[in-house]
Structure formats: structure tokens, C-alpha cells
Amino acid sequence: MNPIVGIGELLWDVYPDGHKVAGGAPFNFAFHCHQLGHPSVIVSRVGDDDLGHELRERVRELGLSDEYIQTDPEHPTGTVRVTLGANAIPTYTITEYVAWDYIAWEDRLEALAASHRAVCFGTLAQRFGTPVPVHRFTTPRRTTALAVFDVNLRGSYFDVDRLEWGLSVCDWCKINADELNTLRALLGCSTPNELAQEWMSAFAEQAVIVTHGEGGCEIYHQRESRDAEGDPLFPSEAFAVPGVKANVVDTVGAGDAFTAAMVCLHLEGKPLREAARFAVHYAARVCEQPGGTPRIARAEVERAAGLR
């Protein structure tokens, strides 16, 4: 089975008490795809330092290969200071000019770019320019691989041009409600619903997925029914999946886990509504444990979601 790829930041999340957890949205995504039974890899870069060596070891301990993790001889391994606020919502202080800011194209990535089943990327690893590997994995749009743009706005590390580029090359866009409101105001749309519908029309996404934390999610997606000319009979439709209660410890990585669950079940041929129901339950379980990469039994989530 060809792998699923997370491409972008790989780093240490450092908590106030000093303990650290391997993180970064693309890495969390790849880990959860792996945990759900799908071969997955992370494409990233770490420093030639103690933190980098330790991070590689941790990646392997979690069951993923470090084959596509580059070593940067000049820049340090990435770190993020995590502070948990009300309702265990994290805020991040992100170190700049670190190894993952300089992910480079390497010949060994060619076969992976040609054979992956899905790729997930965001905005943060593009903060100082879009790395060549992100372009090579997403442009032009591939007909056999699912490209997922998990927006993940962090501080001021985004701009309209990079957002529109990401939207132009993805099949799915996943964004949380707070981020959608930020972009709605920035782009001059009257409602989040209007913005999601506009993206569906302008960028031809198959789906725009909006998460609401404990409130569940909304999914806007292209209908499959088409007329004789091949045009959609209806441009899009939407549905909502309610959230589930969780005993929240922290929400770090919950959105990444949600995205991974959606992608995995979609690749297994499950309907979007069923995939979303599983993803909501899976993300809730992540919130009940510290860090973005907790061990979770898939079968237990399937039972909770009423899927077995």
C-alpha cells in the first residue's frame, strides 16, 4: 500500500513544566494515519543537534520511518512553547529560522511524490516561502492522490497569496471555525458559510471541512450527480456532524487527528458523513490525553461512533 504523506514542520512541543512531546501538525497527521492502519511518512527537516537526534529517535519509537527527515547542518531543530489557557486551548510561541523552515527537494523524494495516496500540508511551513517539496507534491493536481490543505493559522505566519495558492492545489481544505472567521473578515465575506461556498466555486475543491471543536464539524462538498455535459447538477451541499463530550486534558493535535481520521476512512471508501462521525469521536479521544500523539485503539472509537 502506498503511503500517506505529511509535509512540513516537525518539532518539539515544550510545555510549561519542561516536558516535551514530538509534534508539528504534519507529523501529528502522519502519526494518526499510521495509528489508524495506513502506511504514513513525514517529510521534514531537523537540526544536526541533540534535539534533532532525539526527535528522530522519537519518530521511530512511534512507529514511523525517519527516511524522509532531512538533517540541516546550520539551523536548529524546531521548538514551540505551548501554553494551555481556558478550556485547555493551547497558544504557541514558535521559534523562527529553524530546520523545518528549510525543507529541500531531494532526489529520494521523487518516487514518493509519484506514488503517495494522499498528502497533507499547511501554512506554517510556508511562513518564509513555500518549500519546493510542497510544490512538487501538489502541483499540478494529481488525479490519484488526495491533496489536503489543513490551514492551521499560527500567529501572523500567513498571507492571502499563500492561502489562495494552497486552496488552488488542494482537493480538501480543512479549517477550524475561528480560522474561518479570521479569513472571512480578511477577505470581506459576510458569513463563514458564504466563504466556504465561495471557495468551493472558485477553487473547485471536492470538500471544505470546518471543525467546531466540541461542537462537531460541517462539511461542504461537491455532489456527484452531473448533467450530460459533466457539470454538477448542484454545485455543492453541506451537512453537519455533532460533537461529543470529552474530559479534556489538552486539545493539542486534536485537529490533526481529525484530519487524519477523515483521510483514512475516505481512502477506505467510507462515505464522508461516516468518516466525519468517526473523526469527531477520534479527535475527542485525543483531547482526553496529553500531547498530540496519544495511543488510541481504533476499535474502541468505532464502537463509540456506532460504526461496529
Give the model confidence (pLDDT) of 152-168 as tens digits: 888 888 888 888 888 88
CB atoms within 10 A of CB 18: 6
Domain that holds residue 100: 4-304
Q: Which residues contact 247 (CB under 8 A, 6 or more apart)?
A: 288
Q: Region 3-7: what's the mean pLDDT?
A: 97
Q: Does the reported pTM lie above 0.85?
A: yes
Task: Report how many domains make up the chain.
Answer: 1
152 alpha carbon, distance to own chain's centre:
8
Per-residue pLDDT tens digits for 33-81: 999 999 999 999 999 999 999 999 999 999 999 999 999 999 999 999 9
| Separation CA 162–CA 236 (nearest Å) | 25
Q: Give the Å distances, CA to CA, from 107 to 18, 58, 114, 296.
A: 38, 25, 12, 35
CATH of the domain at 159: 3.40.1190.20
Q: For residue 233, what pLDDT is reported?
A: 47
- Mind listing the pLDDT tens digit for each residue in 209-232? 999 999 999 998 876 555 556 554
Cα separations (Å) of 99 from 76, 139, 198, 251, 289?
6, 24, 36, 25, 28
